[in-house]
Homo-oligomer: A and B are copies of this chain.
C-alpha cells in the first residue's frame, strides 16, 4: 500500500482573493481520494492537481461556514455534467442536505447519481466511515457553530512476506501468499507447522491524519488523535490575540502547537490564517515552532506524503 498523501487546495480564512483559496484538502489514503472541506472554487483547485473528479466519492465538511462549503454545489453540479461519478457520500453537520438539495432544486440540476448525506449532530466522536483498510471518525470541535474535525486512521496493514524464507519451501505457492499476509501459519504435507512469524514480518505501520478546523483551543482532542502521523490544525491568530481567538472560536498558532505536542503527533501543518498576517505567515510558524518544532506552513497544491 502506498503512502498516504495530503494536498492542500486552499488554507485561507474567510475572503477568497486572487492568490489564495479557502479551506479544502484532498487526502489520498487507503485507496480513497477524500475531499475535506470545499470552499468556493475548490473544483478549479482540484483540476490543477490533475485528480480525476470521478475518484472523489466521499466528501467531509467540517462546518457550514461559507469558506468551508460554498464550493460544494459547484463541484456536485460539475460531477453531474460529467456523468462519471457513480455515487457520492457527503458527511457534514445537520442541515447540509437541505443546504445542497435546495440549491439543486432551484438550479434544476440533473440528479444522475445518488448523493448519500450523513448528517452529524453528536458532540461525541463517532465512526462515520469504515472499510477493510481505513476508519474515519469525527473529532468534535468548538467553534461558533457546530463543527467536526475528522480523523482518518488506516487499519493494521497486512503482513509483509519474507521471500528468502518462503523460497526454502517449494510447497508454498503464490496462491498461499494472501493467507500468509493475513497472519496464518503454513502446514507442510509432512504435518510440520511453519509459524507465520517465520514467513512474514510486520507490514508497514498504519498511518493516521487528523484534520482540525475551525476550532477554539480544545485540549481534549489530544486523547483521540494521540500519536497521529500528521495533524492539520487551524491557527487563525498569533497568541497575542488569544482573547480574540477565544471569542471567535479560533486557535492561536501557539495553541495549535500545544495540541500537536500534547498529542505527540509526528508533524503539524497550520493554516486558516487571518488575512491580517498576509504574506508574513512565517510569524505564525515561528510562534508554533517554539512549542512544536515540526510545524510546517501549507504550500498550495504541494503533495505532503506521510
Contact = CB atoms under 8 A, between A and B. Distances in A.
Contacts of A40: 40-41, 43, 71, 74
Given A66-B74, A81-B14, A108 B145 contact: yes
Contacts of A293: none
Contacts of A3: none
Interface string A41-57: 10110011000000000
Interface in A12-59: 14-18, 40-41, 43-44, 47-48
A103 B108 contact: no
Chain copies in complex: 2
Contacts of A82: 15
A83 interface: no
Contacts of A18: 44, 47-48
A107 B65 contact: yes
In this complex, the interface size class of chain A, counting residues with CB under 8 Å from chain B, is: 35 or more
Contacts of A17: 44, 47
A16 B145 contact: no
Contacts of A145: 108
Contacts of A15: 78, 81-82
12 contacts: A14-B78, A15-B81, A17-B44, A18-B44, A40-B41, A40-B74, A70-B73, A70-B74, A70-B77, A96-B106, A99-B103, A108-B144
Interface of A: 14-18, 40-41, 43-44, 47-48, 64-66, 69-71, 73-74, 77-78, 81-82, 95-96, 98-99, 102-103, 106-109, 144-145
